[in-house]
Amino acid sequence: MKTSKRISGGLPRVIRMTEWSPASGVPACPDGVVFSQTGWAARETLLQSGTGAKGTPVPQLWLCGGKGEFPPVCQQLTLPPGTTVRLITRHGCSVGAVYEDADATYAFLTGILPVDPSRPPEVQTASVFEEIEAALADAGMAFSHVARTWLYMDRILDWYDPFNRARDAFFTSRKVYDGLVPASTGIGSANLCGTAIAANAIAVKPKRPGAVTVERVDSPLQCTAHAYGSSFSRAVEIGTAACRNLLISGTASIEPGGKTAYLDDPDRQLGLTLDVVEAILTSRGMGWSDTARGIMYLKEPSYLPLWQRHMRDRGLTDLPIITLQADICRDDLLVELELDAVKTKEGAGCGS
């Protein structure tokens, strides 16, 4: 994994992904305005380091899992110095940031939690979506402006079906199916706050028709996720004046009919997952070299050598893709990859 990797992100932001240690803490960003921070480490590491408090000036979410097989990682989103950023607060905590350019208003939500962690997980799910909606209302936006979500669920395999029912009910009540269904990652990660679910999200509100486009992108090698009862788009593309930003959802070894492919075979599941992501990239005139950010989730640390071999074979070792351990949404799915890619429009600059 590369450290201190700064990636121009297409949307007005820069992504910095870095390893950190409990002794020294999370590295300070050398320049720019940090408006979102998400970190991953073993629970013991987070507790020892004192990291993870809510209510900090920077909206953040700290997720825990594994036993330290992979090094702690932090993802920071920054804007150039002097950029005006307004924080969104809920229940006394900063949970998001709003900023704008000539074409759109952008909201990045980080660490959205349910109001009552004592309630059943499906009730907490509904609460998280309601909290996303309320946070966006503070920015003059609606849930219909959401382009991408990340949903981190503790013990995901115990309640993924109730989660889907709760999300479906919220989407139906807000008429999400009449517009854009967001891209999404739903992955098994606990959090230090002890809730069943925590969320991050990206929302975009164009200032005039056509100034910024937000469109669903299908997977050439898979059916829609909604066909087997999961409500997310395979990918969403955000088009700005300078760039096309492709946000690819968490992608796993699922065959065209929706069933898991290559049972008990992590090597072939990795191969198919990469084929699917590559096909989505190709369908939008992009390739692996356009990667701005990626996360590979492995169910077992023992799969790491297989993943490293696939990266070498496909020439991905220099790309900003980090590796984490997490449960996938089906017990027979062993790996999952999410990826952002950015393509600069001819004659335009991109990033910050």
Confidence of residue 3 (pLDDT cuts 50, 70, 90): very low
pLDDT at 341 over 70: yes
pLDDT at 4 over 80: no
pLDDT at 5 over 70: no
Min mean pLDDT across 7-16, 194-203, 208-217 is at 7-16
Task: Please report, for the chain, the start and end positions of each structural domain, with discontinuous segments joined by +.
Answer: 5-247
Confidence of residue 63 (pLDDT cuts 50, 70, 90): very high
Confidence of residue 2 (pLDDT cuts 50, 70, 90): very low
Confidence of residue 349 (pLDDT cuts 50, 70, 90): low
Q: What is the mean pLDDT of residues 75-100?
A: 92
Beta bridge partners of 141: none
Cβ neighbors of 49 (< 8 A, separation 6 or more) are 22, 25, 41
pLDDT at 132 over 60: yes
Q: What is the mean pLDDT of residues 135-147?
A: 97
How much of the chain, in percent, has pLDDT values that exceed 90?
78
pLDDT at 113 over 80: yes
Q: Is the pTM of this model over 0.85?
A: yes
pLDDT at 347 over 70: no
Confidence of residue 6 (pLDDT cuts 50, 70, 90): low
Instruction: Render pLDDT for 250-309 as a digit per residue (tens, 0 to 9).
Output: 999 999 999 999 999 999 999 999 999 999 999 999 999 999 999 999 999 999 999 999
Q: What is the mean pLDDT of the chain?
A: 92
CA dist., res. 83 & res. 321, Å (int):
27
Q: Which residue has the higher pLDDT, 226 or 204?
A: 204
Q: What is the mean pLDDT of residues 215-219?
A: 97
- What 3 state SS string does the chain have? CCCCEEEECCCCCEEEEEECECCCECCCCCCCEEEEEEEEECHHHHHHHCCCCCCCCCCEEEEECCCCCCCCEEEEEEECCCCCCEEEEECCEEEEEEEECCCEEEEEEEEECCCCCCCCHHHHHHHHHHHHHHHHHHCCCCHHHEEEEEEEECCHHHHHHHHHHHHHHHHHHCCHHHCCCCEEEEEECEECCCCCEEEEEEEEEECCCCCCEEEEECCCCCCCHHHHCCCCECEEEEECCCEEEEEEEEECCECCCCCECCCCCHHHHHHHHHHHHHHHHHHCCCCHHHEEEEEEEECCHHHHHHHHHHHHHHCCCCCCEEEEECECCCCCCCEEEEEEEEEECCCCCCCC
Indicate the burial class of 255 (C-beta count within 10 angstroms; 0-12, 13-18, 19 or more): middle
pLDDT at 21 over 80: yes
Q: What is the mean pLDDT of residues 157-180?
A: 97
Min mean pLDDT across 39-43, 120-124, 185-189 is at 39-43
Min mean pLDDT across 56-60, 95-99, 105-109 is at 56-60
pLDDT at 65 over 60: yes
Q: What homologous superfamily is domain 5-247 in, according to CATH?
A: RutC-like (3.30.1330.40)
Min mean pLDDT across 65-69, 119-123, 208-212 is at 65-69
Min mean pLDDT across 46-60, 122-136, 170-184 is at 46-60
CA dist., res. 215 & res. 239, Å (int):
8
The whole-number pLDDT of residue 67 equals 81
Handedness of CA 199, 217, 17, 335 (dihedral sign): positive
- What 3 state SS string does 229-268 have? CCCCECEEEEECCCEEEEEEEEECCECCCCCECCCCCHHH
The whole-number pLDDT of residue 53 equals 64
